[in-house]
Amino acid sequence: MENTSVITLTNKLDCSDAIQDIIHSAQQNIAIFSQQLEPLLYNHQDICDAISSLARKSRYSRIRIIALKTQSSASEGHCLINLSQRLPSSIQIRVPVTQELQRFSESWLIADNHSICQISNPDRYEGSLIKNNRLHVKDKLDFFDHAWENSQPDQNTRRLNI
């Protein structure tokens, strides 16, 4: 059994490193709950390359993203949005429809069922990286699954086929 580790994140570099670490540790599934696809954290070619590799790794790979606001990211050409348009069967972006979820103020990145980067204050890049705490991650993933079921496909990120 692996030991649980908790690392406190106090700035953008800490959060960026934690996100890269988790994405590279994922074997099959990534779940992201985001405020606005945090461009300073997620709109980087190495992040998109790693997510693309994971999405193409297996037909069972699944990357689910819930984002509260995507309009500015979509208009600025966010790489995750472009990737979801190219790989829609593996990467999906949704927006929450309930008021409870629309008020959710944290950002999460969950890899498989073992690790989570929890950014409790996305504006100040404060949070924690929790690895190998399957009970905690399961609890957060259950909440994410509930949020996913109470979300709908994002109109801002759909590819228009003309």
Residue-range domains of the chain with CATH: 5-157 (3.30.870.10)
Q: Give the contacts of 121 (CB within 8 A, at least 6 positions apart).
A: 127
**What pLDDT shows up at residue 159?**
61
- Which percentage of the chain shows pLDDT scores above 70? 96
pTM above 0.95, yes or no: no
* Whether pLDDT at 94 is above 70: yes
**What pLDDT shows up at residue 54?**
96
Query: 71: how many CB neighbours lie within 10 A of its CB?
Result: 12
The predicted model gives 60-83 an average pLDDT of: 88
* Whether pLDDT at 1 is above 80: no
The predicted model gives 128-146 an average pLDDT of: 96
Calpha distance 30→6 (Å, rounded): 19
Average pLDDT, the chain: 91
State the number of CA atoms in the 13 A half-sphere of 8 facing the CB: 1
pLDDT tens for residues 144-158?
999 999 999 988 777
The predicted model gives 130-150 an average pLDDT of: 96
* Whether pLDDT at 162 is above 50: no
Calpha distance 120→140 (Å, rounded): 13
pLDDT tens for residues 5-63?
999 999 999 999 999 999 999 999 999 999 889 999 999 999 999 999 999 999 999 99
Of 61, 40, 32, 5, which is closest to residue 125 (Cα–Cα)?
40
* Whether pLDDT at 115 is above 60: yes
Phi, psi of 45 (to 5 degrees): -60, -40
**What pLDDT shows up at residue 155?**
82
* Whether pLDDT at 70 is above 90: no
Residues recorded for the chain: 162
